Amino acid sequence: MAKLHNSEKTGKTILADVIKNPPIQDKETTFHYSHERRLEKAPRAVRDFNKSKGNRPTVFATLTGNKANATLLITIFVFCAFLSIISRTLSDKNVYKLGGNSITVSAARYEGSTFVVVKKQAEKADAYTGAVDVAISPEKRNHSPSDAKMSEEDPPIFTSRLYFMPEAYEEFRISAPLEIEYALILIQTETERTLIKTKTD
């Protein structure tokens, strides 16, 4: 019993000493990473890639690196410029001005009728608002001698009245009870008018 008591006392004494004087912890281990040493064991392709990493070519240099790529790049630029010019030319041709408004007109035939769509976009704050008269008529065309007699007759004229409101954008639809292949469309206000020739779809 005496030995057990002494061992307990010794254990308590050791525990007290540990609490009062905790052991000094080892310093945190620091790991050093060496990129160069790691590359020494890497495959040749990886080493070559890392050598050229600092002086990689730019996108433009890659596209013009050889003659084929340069030719392709020039072709793309020319094609884009051509599309831009054509698009701008066609859009300007189909846009008409009326009292500070841009007017675009399209027409289509369907089951014995011709449908005309008039789109208005105000270009400035004081653009025209109010009544707009629209007249639609077939354009006279002599395609063959048999059409000459028909062309001498006065073509029918279909009229409609629109009202431009102070909205930035408006769309109007007009129906004429006749299939018209080539249409003359007159759009006029009290002070201005514009004549539009269009082929229906």
pLDDT at 146: 43
| pLDDT score at 140 | 74
Per DSSP, the three-state class of 92 is helix
Q: Using DSSP, state whether 4 is helix, strand or coil.
A: helix
Contact 199, 179 (CB under 8 A): no
Residues 80 and 118 in one domain: no
12 alpha carbon, distance to own chain's centre: 81
**Sites in the chain below the pLDDT cut of 70:** 1-12, 15-16, 18-33, 35, 51-65, 87-93, 141-153
pLDDT at 59: 65
Residues 173 and 109 in one domain: yes
Question: According to the model, what pLDDT value does residue 171 have?
Answer: 92
Q: Could you tell me the CATH number of the domain that includes residue 176?
A: 2.60.40.10
185, 198 contact by CB (below 8 A): yes
What is the total count of domains within the chain?
A: 2
Domain encompassing residue 106: 96-142+151-199
CB atoms within 10 A of CB 116: 23
Q: Are residues 103 and 178 in the same domain?
A: yes
- What does the pLDDT look like over 110-144, one tens digit per residue? 888 889 899 999 888 888 889 999 998 888 765 44
Q: Are residues 64 and 106 in the same domain?
A: no
Please check whether residues 116 and 67 belong to one and the same domain.
no
CA distance 48 to 138: 74
Same domain, 80 and 101: no
